[in-house]
Chain A
Amino acid sequence: MGLLKELKKGVLISLWFVFLTFPVMVIKVDPIARTVVWRWANALYMAVGTFFIYFLVQFFLRKKENRKETNDSKEQTLSFIHRILQDRLQRNILIGVVAVVAVFFPQFLSAYQTNVMTTALMYVVLGLGLNIVVGLAGLLDLGFVAFYAVGAYTYALLNLHFGLGFWAVLPIGGLIAATFGILLGFPVLRLRGDYLAIVTLGFGEIIRLILENWGQFSKGPSGISNISRPGFFGIEFSLQSSIIYTYYLMVLLVLVTIFVVNRLQDSRLGRAWIALREDEIACQAMGIDKRKTKLVAFSLGAFWAGIMGVMFAAKTTFVNPASFTFLESAIILSIVVLGGMGSIVGVLFGALILILMPEYLRALSQYRMLAFGAILVCMMVFRPQGLISNIRRTYTFKKKTTSSLCR
């Protein structure tokens, strides 16, 4: 009974889609020969394709519902990664494997692979930075790339005009980006949700347009080239070893970022961010300064983006405004959403998946945006908490003993 009904519905839906796509898929007007070509085969493909996709979606939704029914107990089913992370031994083994892979990666793989991995690691840090703003403090920021651009141009300009090196500019870039974070933060303190997203989107575009059009300052669309690569106490590297050096530098930066973000998350400040995300009014009524907390979130998020901007400029030795389009913001946001908002491990995986996949599936690069969209829609439907959702810290408390951390 149910199956027949489903079949009928599937047929109707596929017919409807054939009808909708009819003008695009079936009719083709040849303006030169002045003829109309009817591509009926396309209609058939459309119908069959829609029919199957419909059933696939139905199948997964059904499965999800079943799962919900079977375990409505308090204990949520832990994902595979969570289970590993909770067991001390398994966790240490995992960390060990990751460490070994990270250390020997450039030894066994080509410079190209190393370069790709370095890029992916940069997005890990960017994701972790945005994670502070979006995942923890709950402020939807669509202009995150602006801070990335600020960092990159800080290094590019300081290097061009004053010859400052990578290490000197690294903190400066971060701090200037953080200042921009506060500058953006002030006007948007009262905004939430959609309105905040629109303003941040605008901010991102403003920065890019300024860089594009203020030629005297930023050299416009042609960008700034010949930026110095990161140095090591004045030692100059060959291109090959510079790539490897940059890779190790990036691994180090990722580790530092994870350490710092993890500590921030488990602090008084981190709790305040999460409270802010949960309920702004209650948060204020409990004595948390909303302004200060939001501004700190914005500036700390921007700080990491600025650092990565410096890194980016040093790695590619060339910056131009085309590297800082809205698409970048969207990718970084996708990393956070895909990985799991507020989850450090999630962001790590999200960045690796979203950056490495397109690199290794170059053949399908035309469909990249399509796939992005599809992945995000599927995530929202099937797993809104992200691939690896965050486990909150639990405090085990015994009188007069220190709290221990169970993750």
Chain B
Amino acid sequence: MTTQPILDVSGLTMDFGGIRALNTLDLDVNNGEIVALIGPNGAGKTTFFNCITGIYTPTAGDIWLTPPGGGKKISLNGLKPNQVTEKGLARTFQNIRLFSKMTVLENVMIGRHCRTKAFIFGAIFRNKATLQEEQGILETSYAILEKVGLANYADEFAENLPYGAQRRLEIARALATEPLLLLLDEPAAGMNPQETIGLEHLIKQISREGQAILLIEHDMKLVMSLSDRIFVMDYGKKIAQGTPLEIRENPAVIKAYLGEEVDA
């Protein structure tokens, strides 16, 4: 690929006191790709997500976001989480963080927040622009719910959804922000095999529509079947990168992570 990668992270370092959670990490994601980030527990994967989405401020390193089609490079260094989302990086959480007392539809509508702008006066006077915007929010949100297969849950409170559906809703909510790159933090965690298969289909479908995805996952079967490329981390360092096939046979990875179960 000769074009600029959408996400370009170089030399990302994060220290918590004396502990170096991320050590000069380089990573890039191209447009339309599914890239997986794997590694044993505590390798720093979620810290990496938190750093690039602005929840943590990294000690060193650069994060660049480039809109596809020759857009200008945007630096994400030092931005707040909401600004990062506005620039086009949306994430899901490892431990589900839905707005549990809001309906499913409203959860997705929250995702539209940063793409809309009605404020106090719009809210009170409900002028034409605001009404149109609200209608737009509703239509887009509903369309996204249909895409992830949750449309018939729309008026249910998010906390009442079954586990797998809650995971899907998190993805729907992130998609509603129109991200350039979707970050999924262990989307299959705690899912049963059936739900995982459903999730795999969903991710493939989203990817087919041209959405670039960076995903953290422990389920190797899922990672191997989905990813175009895989980055492997251990102790805050990148120990390998490549296609699933290369990673499968990489001795460093086998040693650090996959162990004996590589051909299981």
Residues of A at under 8 Å CB distance from B? Answer: 74, 260, 263-264, 267-272, 274-275, 278-279, 281-290, 296, 300, 392, 394-395, 397, 402-403
Cβ A268 vs Cβ B173 within 8 A = no
Q: Do residues B97 and A287 form an inter-chain contact, with CB atoms below 8 A?
A: no
Option from B99, B101, B154 in Cβ contact (under 8 Å) with A397 = B154
Q: Given A271-B106, A271-B110, A296-B120: A289 and B99 within 8 A (CB)?
A: no
Which residues of A lie under 8 Å from residue B155 when comparing CB positions?
A: 394-395
Interface residue tally of chain B, by bracket? 35 or more
Q: Which residue of A lies closest to B106 (CB)?
A: A271
Given contacts A268-B134, A269-B123, A395-B154, A275 and B118 within 8 Å (CB-CB): no
Please report whether the interface of chain B is mostly helix, strand, loop or mixed according to DSSP: helix
Query: How many residue pairs between the two chains, A and B, have CB atoms under 8 Å in the bound complex?
Result: 125
Partner pick for A271 among B86, B113, B177, CB 8 A cutoff: B113
B137 near A268 with CB under 8 A, answer yes
- Check A268 against B113 for contact (C-beta < 8 Å): yes
Contact B154 A286 (CB under 8 A): no
CB distance from A139 to the nearest CB of B (A): 16
B105–A286 contact, CB under 8 A? no
- A287 to B89 alpha-carbon distance, docked (Å): 10
Residues of A close to B177: CB separation below 8 A: 286-287
A403 with B138: in contact, given A269-B123, A394-B155 (CB under 8 Å)? yes
Q: Are B124 and A286 in contact (CB under 8 A)?
A: no
**Could you tell me if A267 and B118 are in contact, using CB atoms closer than 8 angstroms?**
yes
**Bound CA span A275–B106, Å:** 9
Contact check, B116 vs A286: say whether CB atoms are below 8 A apart.
no
**A272 and B55 alpha carbons, distance in the complex (Å):** 19
How would residues 66 to 91 of chain B score, 1 for a CB under 8 Å from any chain A CB and 0 otherwise? 00000000000000111001100011
Q: Is the CB of B106 within 8 A of A285?
A: no
Q: Interface readout for B38-57 with A: 1 if CB under 8 Å, 0 if not?
A: 00000000000000010100
- From B118, which residue of chain A is reached at the shortest CB distance? A268
Q: Please, how many angstroms separate the alpha-carbon atoms of A290 and B173 in the complex?
A: 18
Whether A289 contacts B82 in the complex (CB less than 8 A), given A269-B118, A279-B97, comes out as: yes
Query: 1/0 per position for B138-159, CB-CB distance to A under 8 A?
Result: 1100100000000000111100
- A263-B138 contact given A289-B82, A392-B102, CB 8 Å threshold: no
Contact yes or no, A288 B114, CB < 8 A? yes
Asked if A281 and B126 sit within 8 Å, CB to CB, the answer is: no
Q: A267-B130, A268-B113, A272-B113 are in contact. List 8 more A-B contacts (CB 8 A).
A: A269-B119, A275-B99, A275-B113, A283-B99, A283-B110, A284-B81, A288-B110, A300-B120
Measured between alpha carbons, how far is A46 from B85 in the docked complex, in Å? 62
Asked, given contacts A74-B160, A275-B102, A286-B113, whether A269 binds B142 with beta carbons under 8 Å apart, the answer is no
Chain B residues with Cβ below 8 Å from A394 are: 103, 155
A285 in contact with B53 (CB, 8 Å): yes
- What chain B residues lie within 8 Å of A288 (beta carbons)? 82, 110, 113-114
Contacts A/B (CB < 8 Å), 7 sampled = A268-B133, A279-B97, A279-B99, A285-B91, A287-B85, A287-B115, A397-B105
- Alpha-carbon separation in the docked complex, A288 to B109 (Å): 12
